[in-house]
Chain A
Amino acid sequence: MKFSPVKRPARLVTEQSQAFTFTRRAWLLGGLQLGVGGLLAGRMAWLSIAENEHYRVLAESNRVQLVLIPPRRGWIVDRHGKPIAINRTDFRVDIIPDRLKDRDATLAALQSVLGLPPEEMERVREELAKAAGYQPVPVAEHLDYERYAAVTLRLPSLAGVAPASGYARFYPAGAAVGHLVGYVGTASAADYEASKNPLLITPGFKVGKEGLEKTMEERLRGQPGAKRAEVTARGKIVRELTTRPETSGAPLQLTIDAGLQEYAGRRLGEESGSAVVIDVDSGDLLCMASMPCYDPNSFSDGISHSEWDMLSQDARHPLINKVLSALYPPGSTFKPAVAMAALEAGIDPEQNVSCPGGFRLGNRFFKCLGRHGPMNMHRAIAKSCNTYFYTMGYRIGFDRVADMARRLGLGQEFDIPVASQRYGTIPDTAWKERKYKQKWSGADTLNASIGQGFVLLNPLQLAVMASRVASGNLVQPRLLRGDGKPLQPLPFAAEHFQTVRGGMWEVVNGNGTAGASRLPLDGIQMAGKTGTAQVRRIVGSQRGQSGDWKYRDHGLFVFFAPTDRPRYAGSVVIEHGMGGARAAAPVARDILTYLFDREKALKRLFALEQDWGGDLATRMTRQAAEFRAARATPPPPPAPAAPVAGNAAAPAEDLD
């Protein structure tokens, strides 16, 4: 036996000790296994007891899909309950990609049945290539019933095709109500990002994009319904569970008289302009027409590119609501406000001002339309004598005129639910100091006193002025039925109103500027005031009465009727119409005629439309066809940009 230098005695391992080690370690292993088994049981209990509620909700939200049913928009009706915006049954055809069997054959069949153009088929093909599952791909919308029925009949051989019916907005009066009610369209991505409302991305759901449809969105929208359905992971509906019906939006009643609105829109005809009529007893806006206008139906259907181009390139600005968003120098229609200010300042209306054909201020001569001779206030209004109003404005100072103008509603913003209002400018000394850092000059006073210079107004304000002068009350225009308050009288002497109204009576019914526009009715007379507003500084002999359309003078007219007990008041503005008496007053006459004698007014309109070449819809269709034809030929060189409507008034100094 040999001693070796063992540092540590080696453990003796035998068969016996190995068996013992095995038993010990096997017990340990068994214990571990039991432990893991316990862990698994514990985990399972945790999931199914403690977290049961949480996972049950998740399983339920997996299983049940909530399909929103878009609510029908509330109707918009006029003061008599006549529909202005309604919902029409709309037919559409979709494809469910997963149910499609023979794609090419199905698409070919749809193309021939629906008469779809090749570019539409291309779009459908592209969307089908990207789509998967049960999310429908739209094939065609706004189908007529015949084509919808044709698809329905062929359904057995068209697997995967899903015809559906829904509702689409319809405006029976078309373009005549366009600017007033606006239009609806698919919600934008930004809208959805802002509210995360799933309704916004539901197929077929539209929101108000413009006009009343936009401002009254909340009220018109209604409550969506919901369909609960059991769906598979791939989106296939296994069965429907419950359905909660949608609640339509509440109808919205306007103060508008739909018949009058449509009449006014049609009567404006080929002109670019606007007409407003207010019921002076209540402030109800009976008509707010602005022409030309887009057809809101084509926006609701999704407007085509060429249609949009046509609208945005038109020099007559069919996209601008000329009642609220176009500003004009009021010209002589401003004179009733100046007259009221003079009376309020203590001027005797019978005092004569001699008109030698103009007014001399320093070394400058401000022209009148003619040599009127001695003028009192009554005659000065009737004849629209500039010299008289230069004199009065100069005598009392323009700040007093501005104050009166504002109290009559000019330059004011009104509390009506519209998308936008531009309220223009009633200038005064402080305003000029603020804006131009210049002192108000005598020339400024003279220009402003005849509604030129810095004065810019919208047609609604002119109509409100006419209403307040006609009634002596603080008329507030309103667009929705039933939210009015009793009118307060204006704090001015009744004789002052009488004087101004008398002058306005003379304008139409006596020796005045609008004698040609008397109402063709027995016992009902209209009073008014014409206005001719320069678009640009007079250059040479051109006086805004000829030449390029876009440089011609605007024609304006404010009015009220009947003169003995005023009931209606309003304004008519015809852009580049060359004169208030010539262009605007006849339109006002016919609109008022409609209110008193519908037959007579319509007869006159039919005659006019005959001359223009058909009714509004016919003319618009023809215009669109011409536009497309022109685009199909090589495009003409780009036209110079037209000035924005109503914003083209340069401060003019040499005035008539």
Chain B
Amino acid sequence: MRSSLVPAPVASLPWRLILLVLAVGGFGLTVLYSAAGGSLRPWALSQGERFLLFLVAAVILSRFGEGHIKRWALPAYFVLLAMLLLVELLGAVSGGSQRWLDLGIIRLQPSELMKPAIVLALARFYDLLPAGEIRRFNAIWPAGVLIGLPAALVLLQPDLGTATMITLGGLTVMFLAGLPLRLFVGGALLLAAAMPVAFATMHEYQRNRVLIFLDPESDPLGRGYHISQSKIAIGSGGVFGKGFLNGTQSHLDYLPEGHTDFVFATMAEEWGLAGGLAVIGAYLLIVRWAMRVAMAARSRFSRLAAAGLATTIFFYFAINLMMVMGLAPVVGIPLPLVSFGGSAMMTVLLCLGILMAIERSNRGRT
């Protein structure tokens, strides 16, 4: 039922999604407020401003047509690839590892934007590829190059978590594009076989993270500290938590990174299993909405792009939660919309903006 009081462009927004995002973001701000010991500063206030800014940007992005996005997919990818190379060169010159470019008004982390960009680029690639070619080698090697280059550059930074996400995002699109199933099964087997080799070539700190993930109690005060303290925070919260502002793990500084990567543990300590299930449920609903957008999409590009972006959002929260609950090594993936920091929030809202644009074109003409 359409009310004449609300202008059509506003009424046509996917309000269920926006309310969901507002709920998760608002809850995140509440957690940051508590993590600062019951204070808007230094985190909740600036995070709230950023959240609103990016949300508005996402809504504006949704007004763009599918054609625009399709046209910009590959150029954006190559620009980001060039920026990744630049970051790498700057890092080599300054003699340290660097992940961002200072653009004056904003510190841009190209590897972060590469997560949606790789999805769009591959979606565009398979869109351009004639249907008959999909089971040929021509369908594989360009995609491999498109994924491999940024993944390798990010791995050099070194940022194992982001490189993994870029690769997984790309592989998802390849899978959805219809490449033969045996490639993925074979690849998985190959990966399992290659694991020891990869382990041998890892950086010392990456290797330690993996080892500690396998046995966090081996060094509870040293390198296993993050995972141990995070599990203590979550486990001690119980079903309904210790209550808002009553978390001890976070307030007494036992939980490291309690406002960034381990913000879920801060939340779970105070809100318990109930809060945790609410966050997991909200994320699954957001992903479900995005997957529905993909299913309903009319063009091959928008189908692949929407499903790929949905999976990117999914990877974010799944990897972060697995890490926080001791199911994955500590790889430095924040919980988007909740963790303090702009990059992940920007990426996820960018994904949602594009998804809203696709959703709008699903409803609209053509």
Contact residues of A with B, CB < 8 Å?
Answer: 10-11, 13-15, 17-19, 21-23, 25-26, 29-30, 33-34, 36-37, 39-41, 43-45, 47-49, 51-52, 54-56, 58-60, 62-63, 230-234, 238
5 more A-B contacts (CB under 8 A) besides A29-B175, A48-B235, A48-B237? A18-B300, A29-B291, A40-B327, A48-B276, A63-B252
10 intermolecular pairs with C-beta atoms under 8 Å apart: A37-B280, A40-B318, A41-B276, A44-B276, A47-B235, A48-B234, A49-B273, A55-B234, A56-B236, A62-B229
Q: Are A52 and B235 in contact (CB under 8 A)?
A: yes
User: Which residues of A lie under 8 Å from residue B118 when comparing CB positions?
Assistant: none
Query: What is the number of residues of chain B that contact chain A, defined by CB distance less than 8 Å?
Result: 49
Provide the residues of chain B in CB contact with A21, threshold 8 Å.
Answer: 178
B132: A residues at CB distance < 8 A:
13
B300 touches A15 (CB 8 A): yes
Against A, the Cβ 8 Å flags (1 = close, 0 = not) of B305-318 are: 00100010010001
B20 located at the interface, meaning its Cβ lies under 8 Å from any Cβ of chain A in the complex = no
Contact A26–B178 (Cβ < 8 Å) = no
Q: With A and B bound together, what is the CA distance between A48 and B231 in angstroms?
A: 9
- Do the beta carbons of A25 and B175 come within 8 Å of each other? yes
Q: Report the minimal beta-carbon distance from A263 to chain B, rounded to whole angstroms.
A: 58
In the bound complex, how far is the Cα of B159 from the Cα of A469, in angstroms?
Answer: 93
Please tell me which one of the listed residues A33, A34, A48, A59 contacts residue B248 in the complex, with CB atoms under 8 A apart: A59
Per DSSP, chain B at the interface is helix
Closest to B253 in A: A233
Q: Which of A13, A30, A33, A49 has a CB less than 8 Å from the CB of B239? A: A49
Once the chains are docked, how many angstroms separate the CA of A59 from the CA of B235? 9
Indicate if B134 sits at the interface (CB-CB under 8 A): yes
In the bound assembly, the distance between CA atoms of A62 and B225 in angstroms comes to 12
- B276-293 interface with A by 8 A CB criterion: 276-277, 280, 283-284, 287-288, 291
Q: How far is the CB of B325 from chain A (nearest CB, A)?
A: 5
Question: B234 contacts A37, CB within 8 Å?
Answer: no
Instruction: State whether A23 touches B295 (Cβ < 8 A).
Output: yes
B304 at the interface (CB under 8 A from A): yes
Q: Known interface pairs A23-B295, A44-B268, A49-B273. Does A233 touch B238 (Cβ–Cβ under 8 Å)? A: no
Contact partners of A25 in chain B: CB under 8 A? 175-176, 178
Binding site of A, secondary structure by majority: helix, strand, loop or mixed?
helix
Q: Given that A23-B295, A29-B172, A59-B249 are contacting pairs, would A48 and B178 also be in contact in the complex, using a CB cutoff of 8 Å?
A: no
Q: How far is the CB of B254 from chain A (nearest CB, A)?
A: 5
Which residues does B use to contact A, with CB under 8 Å? 131-132, 134-135, 172, 175-178, 229, 231-239, 248-249, 252-254, 268-269, 272-273, 276-277, 280, 283-284, 287-288, 291, 294-295, 300, 303-304, 307, 311, 314, 318, 321-322, 325, 327
B176 and A26 contacting across the interface, CB-CB below 8 Å: yes
Q: Which of A33, A41, A44, A59 contacts B236 (CB 8 A)?
A: A59
Say yes or no: B277 contacts A41, CB within 8 Å: yes
Chain B residue numbers with a CB within 8 Å of A238 are: 252
- Measured in the bound complex, the distance between the Cα atoms of B171 and A399 in whole Å is 103
Cα–Cα distance between A231 and B276 once the two chains are bound (Å): 27
A130 to B283, CA, bound (A): 48
Residues of A near B273 (CB, < 8 A) are: 44-45, 48-49
Instruction: State the CA gap A233–B235 with chains docked (Å).
Output: 18
Chain A minimum-CB-distance residue to B252: A232
Across-interface contacts of A59 in B (CB, < 8 A): 232-233, 235-236, 248-249, 254, 269
A171 to B201, CA, bound (A): 68
Given contacts A33-B314, A48-B276, A49-B273, whether A11 and B135 have CB atoms under 8 Å apart is yes
Contacts of A58 on B, CB cut-off 8 Å? 232, 235-236
CB distance from A52 to the nearest CB of B (A): 5
Judge whether B321 and A22 touch: CB under 8 Å: no
Which one of B178, B252, B325 lies within 8 Å of A22 (CB-CB)?
Answer: B178
Q: Check if B291 sits within 8 Å of A56, measured CB to CB.
A: no
Residues in B whose Cβ lies below 8 Å from that of A55: 231-232, 234-236
**Minimum C-beta distance from A48 to chain B (A):** 4
- Contact, CB under 8 Å: A43 / B325: yes
Least CB distance from A58 to B in Å reads: 5
Contact A13 B135 (CB under 8 A): yes
Query: CB distance A233 to B135 under 8 Å?
Result: no
Q: Is the CB of B253 within 8 A of A48?
A: no
Q: Does A37 lie within 8 Å of B283, measured CB to CB?
A: yes
| Alpha-carbon gap, A449 to B186, bound state (A) | 103
Residues of A within 8 A of B135 (CB): 10-11, 13
Tell me if B236 and A52 are in contact (CB < 8 A): yes
Cβ distance B307 to chain A, nearest Cβ, rounded Å = 5
Q: Check if A29 sits within 8 Å of B248, measured CB to CB.
A: no
* Cβ A33 vs Cβ B287 within 8 A: yes
Contacts of A45 in B (CB 8 A): 273
Q: Do B232 and A40 have beta carbons less than 8 Å apart?
A: no
Q: Is the CB of B284 within 8 A of A48?
A: no
When chains A and B are docked, how far (Å) is the Cα of A54 from the Cα of B238? 11
User: Is the beta-carbon distance between A22 and B176 smaller than 8 angstroms?
Assistant: yes
* Distance, CA A230 to CA B234, complexed state (A): 20
